[in-house]
Amino acid sequence: MKTGRPLVLLYIHDEVSPGLRARGGASRWWLGKSLAEHARQIEKTGGQLTIRAGGAEEVLIDIIAETGATSVFWNRRYGSAERAIDTDLKAMLRKGEMDVSTFNGRLLTEPWDITTGASTPYKVFTPYWKALKSTYRAPPVLAAPKALGGPVIESQTVESLGLQPTDPDWSGGLEATWHPGEAGAIERLWEFLEGPINTYAQDRNRPDLERGTTRLSPHLHFGEISPAQVWRAVQHGISAGKFDESNAMTFLSELVWREFSYVLLYYNPDLATENYNSDFDLLPWRADCDAVKSWRAGQTGYPIVDAGMRQLWHTGYMHNRVRMIVASFLTKHLLQHWQVGEDWFWDTLVDADPAANAASWQWTAGSGADAAPYFRVFNPITQGQKFDPHGTYVRRWCPELSFLPDKVLHTPWEADSATLKEAGITLGTTYPKPIVDHATARQRALDAYDTLKEKRNAA
DNA sequence: TTTTGAGTTGTTCGA
DNA sequence: GTCGAACAACTCAAA
C-alpha cells in the first residue's frame, strides 16, 4: 500500500445483494448507534465516514468514478452470501486493474488456518482450542491514526438508513443498557480486567451478578473491538502475573468458541438453516404456536426461563447461562425446532451473529458439532436454584414474583396458598402456571430421541 | 491402517 | 445430604 494518499472511509449499507439475511431489529438498532458514533470519532480527526446504501458493487463503481480511487481495502466476511459478494467484487475490481487487499479484522485466525494433522477442519472444540492456544500470538495493536482527512464526497446520513425503530420505538431498554461504539467496548474490557476476570470460571455462570461476564459480544460483533485486542490484553496480564492464569484461560477459551463457530460456519454455509448432523432431520419436532408465544413472551411459568426471555426483550441481551436454559427448554421441553429459537434470537439480540447464534442453537438441540448429548435436558428448576441462588435475577425481570420467599421462588406452583396470597400472586392470573410439567416434558423429549434412534437404525 | 482415548456448560437414581 | 454411576453410542483426532 502506498502511503500518504487520501482515504475514502466507506460504509456500504447493503440490503439488496442476493442471499443476505436481513438484520434483526436489535441488531439494526446497534448498527445505527455504532455508525453514528464511528462517524463522530472520524470527524474529530478531520475526516468523514462516507455512508451509501445500495448494492456493494454499484456503490463501489460509483465511488471509484467519483474519486478516481485506485486501491480498495476491506475486512473479510465469512457467511456464504457475503463471501460470494466479496469474491465477485474482488474479481470485478481486479479486472478493472484496481489494487484490492483484504484483511482479517474480526477473528483471531482465519477459519482455514488451523487444521488437524490430516489437514481437515476441526469438528471438536477441545483439540481446536489446544491447537489455537499453542500457536496463536496476537499482533500488536496499532494506534489509531491522528488525521483521517480525505476527500469530502456525497454521503448519506445514518438517520436516512432507517435503522432506529419508530412507531413504536421499543429501544428504551436497549438505550439504557448499552453504549455502542469503541469507547464503550474498551470500557467494558477494562472493567472486566480490573477484577472479574480472576473469578471468571465460577462467576460467568451467575446471571444475578452484574459483572460476572464481559458483555463484549455485541462490540465484538460490530468490530468495535477486535478479538486480537482482547487476547493481547489478557495475555499481557497473565505474563505480568496480574491475572489468575486458570480463570484468564477459561475466559480466552470462550473467545475461541466464537472462533470455532466461524470455522463451523465457513465449512457449513447452511449452519443457520440445516442440521449439522443430518440425523436430526428425522426428529419429530412439534409445532405448537401457543407454546412458542409463551416462550417468547416470558410466560412459561418457569421463573428462570421467563426472566431470561424478558431480559432479552427488554435489553437485547441474555446472560449465556440463561441462553442455554431457555434454548434447552424450547427444544427439549417444548420440542420446538431449534430454528424457531434461532430466528427469535436473530431478531432480538444485539449480538446476533451468523456463526455463534446458529452454532449455539444447534449445540443445545443436539444436532450441532461437538453437541450436548440429547439426553442432557436442563432442569429449569435446579438451574435456577443453582445459578440464581438468591433470586436476584428472577426478581429483577419477573417483578410479580418479588415477594415470594427464596425457597419457592423458582417453583411458585409449589408454594402454599397462604404464601402465594401474602406475595400477592394468583397463579394463572398474575403469573402463569407451568405450561408443561418438567418430568413429563423431559420424558417426552427422551422418547422423541428414541424414535430418532429407531429410524436411524431402520434406515 | 488401526487403535485408543476423549468429548463445554447436566440430571436422576440409588446406595 | 452426598456421591458415583448410568444415561448412547459415535465420531473425532492423534498416536
Does one domain contain both A246 and A309? no
Protein A115 CA to nucleic acid B2 C1', in Å? 22
Residues 62-121 of A with CB under 7 A from strand C: 116-118, 120
Mean pLDDT of A140-148: 84
| pLDDT value of residue A167 | 86
Does one domain contain both A289 and A372? yes
Does one domain contain both A95 and A125? no
What are the angstrom distances between the C-alpha of A296 and each of A300, A343, A429? Answer: 9, 11, 18
Cell representation of residue A454: 429407531
Is residue A397 annotated as part of the catalytic site, yes or no?
no
CATH number (domain holding residue A62): 3.40.50.620
Does one domain contain both A284 and A392? yes
Q: Is the pLDDT of residue A88 over 60?
A: yes
CA A312/CA A345 separation, integer angstroms: 8
Residue A176 inside a domain? The answer is: no
Residue A321 inside a domain? The answer is: yes
Does one domain contain both A206 and A334? no
Q: Which domain holds residue A302?
A: 278-454
Does one domain contain both A286 and A249? no
Is residue A344 annotated as part of the catalytic site, yes or no?
no
Residue where one domain finishes, among candidates A208, A234, A267: A267
Q: Is the pLDDT of residue A383 over 80?
A: yes
Q: Is the pLDDT of residue A457 over 80?
A: no
Residue A287 inside a domain? The answer is: yes
Considering only residues A133 and A449, tell me which one the structure prediction assigns the higher pLDDT.
A133
Does one domain contain both A261 and A334? no
Protein A189 CA to nucleic acid B15 C1', in Å? 48
- Supply φ then ψ for residue A369, to 5 degrees: -75, 135
What are the angstrom distances between the C-alpha of A136 and each of A7, A133, A140, A248, A355? Answer: 31, 6, 13, 16, 21
Residue where one domain finishes, among candidates A247, A267, A287: A267
Does one domain contain both A242 and A313? no
- A417-432 core/surface letters (b: 16 or more CB in 10 A; e: else): eebbeebebeeeeebb
| pLDDT value of residue A1 | 45
Average per-residue pLDDT in chain A?
95
Does one domain contain both A248 and A314? no
Mean pLDDT of A47-53: 97
Residue A164 inside a domain? The answer is: no
| pLDDT value of residue A3 | 55
Protein A376 CA to nucleic acid C6 C1', in Å? 12
Does one domain contain both A235 and A293? no
Of the residues A110, A254, A274, A400, only one is catalytic, namely: A254
Considering only residues A261 and A1, tell me which one the structure prediction assigns the higher pLDDT.
A261
Strand B bases, protein C-beta under 7 A: 6-12
Does one domain contain both A283 and A362? yes
Considering only residues A143 and A409, tell me which one the structure prediction assigns the higher pLDDT.
A409
Mean pLDDT of A123-136: 95
Q: Is the pLDDT of residue A456 over 80?
A: no
Residue A97 inside a domain? The answer is: yes
- Supply φ then ψ for residue A281, to 5 degrees: -60, -25
| pLDDT value of residue A415 | 95
Residue A366 inside a domain? The answer is: yes
Is residue A422 annotated as part of the catalytic site, yes or no?
no
| pLDDT value of residue A419 | 97
CA A423/CA A421 separation, integer angstroms: 5
Q: What is the DSSP letter of A413?
A: G
CATH number (domain holding residue A233): 1.25.40.80
Convert the pLDDT of each residue in A103-119 to its tens digit.
999 999 999 999 999 99
CATH number (domain holding residue A406): 1.10.579.10
| pLDDT value of residue A87 | 98
| pLDDT value of residue A47 | 92
CA A372/CA A458 separation, integer angstroms: 24
Protein A348 CA to nucleic acid C4 C1', in Å? 42
What are the angstrom distances between the C-alpha of A373 and each of A337, A361, A363, A370, A387? Answer: 16, 13, 9, 9, 21
Residue A158 inside a domain? The answer is: no
CA A36/CA A30 separation, integer angstroms: 10
Residue where one domain finishes, among candidates A200, A234, A267: A267
Convert the pLDDT of each residue in A417-426 to its tens digit.
999 999 999 9
- What percentage of residues in chain A have a pLDDT greater than 70? 98
* Residue A263 near residue A111 (C-beta atoms within 8 A): yes
Number of domains in chain A: 3
Does one domain contain both A346 and A400? yes
Residue A422 inside a domain? The answer is: yes
pLDDT level of residue A2 (50, 70, 90 thresholds): very low
- A342-353 core/surface letters (b: 16 or more CB in 10 A; e: else): bebbbbbbbbbb
| pLDDT value of residue A4 | 66
CA A37/CA A115 separation, integer angstroms: 38
Convert the pLDDT of each residue in A294-349 to its tens digit.
999 999 999 999 999 999 999 999 999 999 999 999 999 999 999 999 999 999 99
